[in-house]
Amino acid sequence: MQKKLPNRVRELRKLHKLTLEELADRVGMTAAHLSDIERSNRRLSTHWMALLAKQLRVGQADLLNEEDRGVIGDEGLHRLKELYSAASLDQQQALLHVAEAMLGFKSEPSELKKAG
């Protein structure tokens, strides 16, 4: 049985004065699906987390309750460190570029910096 992970989707949706139907429509899911997510009856996948966070103008981690952010963050950070350590230098650079792109950093790729 999966552990339920409560989230802040309902709280943030209401903060933005959006109805369940409005937010569901904006991210391309049914209102019933979103309702299940808000009540923690359905797992909040990374796919839906990314879309909901974008619509609610928050970071993906902000969708989680405070107590869940640290636990998930620590496990995720440990796994990222393992993956990064096992990667070649080129792979490490690619991982950094992907992470920056996902988080919205506006840095130039190193190839452009070298050319400039």
Same domain, 45 and 58: yes
Partners of residue 64 on adjacent β-strands:
7
Residue of higher predicted confidence among 90 and 1: 90
**Which of 28, 43, 64 marks a domain boundary?**
64
Residue pair 43/2 in contact by the 8 Å Cβ criterion: yes
7: confidence class by pLDDT, cuts 50, 70, 90: confident
Report field, pTM of the whole predicted structure over 0.85: no
Residue pair 97/109 in contact by the 8 Å Cβ criterion: yes
Q: pLDDT value at position 46?
A: 86
Residue pair 20/9 in contact by the 8 Å Cβ criterion: no
| Residue 58 within any structural domain of the chain | yes
**Which of 64, 80, 105 marks a domain boundary?**
64
**Structural domain of 102:** 67-115
Same domain, 75 and 59: no
CATH number for the domain spanning 42: value is: 1.10.260.40
pLDDT tens per residue, range 64-81: 876 544 445 556 667 778
How many Å from the N-terminal Cα to the C-terminal Cα in the chain?
A: 54
What are 114's two structure tokens? 């070298």
What are 23's two structure tokens? 């937010």
